[in-house]
Each structure stands twice: as C-alpha cells, then as structure tokens.
C-alpha cells in the first residue's frame, strides 16, 4: 500500500511543480505499481 501512496504523492507534487518530463514520471509510477502487484503475481513459495 505504501507504494501506491508514493505514486499518489508523486503525481500531486508533479502537478503542482513538474520537476521531470511526463514519460519519466510515468515510468516511475509504472515501476511502483508493478512492485506493489509483484506479490500477487508470484507463485507462493513453499
């Protein structure tokens, strides 16, 4: 859940003051989303 909060804060900050190009922001957000979903995609070890 903290990764999704990170994305939300990042986007709000970016909307207030864009500090990087939009494609870079998109890549960071997609990476965080994939990281948040990784535990659901991985088969359970055991």
Mean pLDDT of 14-43: 90
3 state SS of 46: coil
Tens of pLDDT, residue by residue over 9-27, are: 999 999 999 999 999 999 9
Rounded mean pLDDT, 33-41: 86
Q: What's the per-residue H, E or C state across 12-45?
A: HHHHHCCCCCHHHHHHHHHHHHHHHHHHHHCCCC
Tell if the pTM clears 0.75, that is, is over it.
no
Q: Looking at residue 44, what is its pLDDT? A: 65
């Amino acid at each position: 859940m903290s990764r999704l909060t990170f994305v939300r804060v990042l986007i709000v900050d970016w909307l207030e003051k864009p500090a990087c190009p939009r494609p870079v922001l998109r890549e960071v957000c997609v990476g965080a989303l994939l990281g948040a979903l990784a535990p659901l995609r991985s088969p359970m070890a055991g």
